[in-house]
């Protein structure tokens, strides 16, 4: 595994739309492993491929230590409720904001074996789904934050 460089606000790669993964190759497995290592090393709870310069629809999320979601070509298929709270991003260091997100979010995606999976997240996991999937369309939480703060 290898730690990858996290792209920061101002890098135009963060503003691009990612392409779907059409074949889950060993390279994709390596990317998933490297993204998880990179996320953990940076003490984050989610990382999207464009944050490491790869314009593919892939995210990893670890809200609960040891429970990693690897989502390929993810899309939100249901959401409900509302939550308001703090949000930050490894690509926007030293700042955090207040956002409004759905409280329950169901995502459909492929896992690393190409199986279609559905995962429903609540609270922090629901927020992470929204945040990471937004990255795949070039969107950052600072675009929709109600307020922004410095550390």
Stretch touching Zn ion by CB under 5 A, among 64-72, 81-89, 107-115, 143-151: 81-89
* Residue 130 found at the interface with Zn ion (CB under 5 A): no
39 binds Zn ion (CB under 5 A): no
* Residue 89 found at the interface with Zn ion (CB under 5 A): yes
76, two tokens? 């939100």
Identify the DSSP state of 91.
T
Stretch that binds Zn ion, among 5-13, 34-42, 71-79, 89-97 (CB under 5 A): 89-97
Annotated active-site residue 64? The verdict is no
Tell me: does residue 60 bind Zn ion (CB under 5 A). no
CA 132, CA 106: separation in Å to the nearest integer?
Answer: 13
Q: 105, 79 in Cβ contact below 8 A?
A: yes
- The pair of structure tokens assigned to 96 is 């955090």
| Binding of residue 110 to Zn ion (CB under 5 A) | no
| Partners of residue 119 on adjacent β-strands | 107
What is the rounded (10 degree) CA torsion for 31, 13, 55, 33?
10
Number of residues this chain uses to bind Zn ion (CB under 5 A): 1
Task: Check residue 35 for interaction with Zn ion (CB under 5 A).
Answer: no
Of 17-25, 31-39, 66-74, 86-94: span binding Zn ion (CB under 5 A): 86-94
Beta strands 95-101 and 83-87 are antiparallel
Q: Enumerate the active-site residues.
A: 132
* Contacting positions for Zn ion (CB under 5 A): 89
């Amino acid at each position: 595994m290898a730690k990858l460089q996290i792209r920061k606000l101002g890098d135009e790669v963060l503003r691009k739309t990612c392409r779907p993964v059409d074949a889950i190759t060993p390279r994709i497995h390596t990317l998933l492993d490297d993204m998880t290592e990179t996320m953990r090393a940076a003490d984050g709870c989610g990382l999207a491929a464009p944050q490491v310069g790869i314009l593919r629809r892939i995210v990893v999320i670890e809200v609960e230590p040891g429970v990693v979601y690897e989502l390929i070509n993810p899309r939100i298929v249901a959401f409900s409720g509302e939550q308001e709270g703090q949000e930050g991003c490894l690509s926007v260091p030293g700042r955090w904001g207040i956002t409004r997100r759905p409280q329950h979010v169901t995502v459909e995606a492929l896992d690393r074996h190409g199986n279609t999976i559905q995962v429903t997240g609540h609270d922090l996991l629901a927020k992470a789904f929204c945040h990471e999937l937004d990255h795949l369309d070039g969107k950052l939480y600072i675009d929709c934050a109600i307020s922004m703060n410095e550390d």
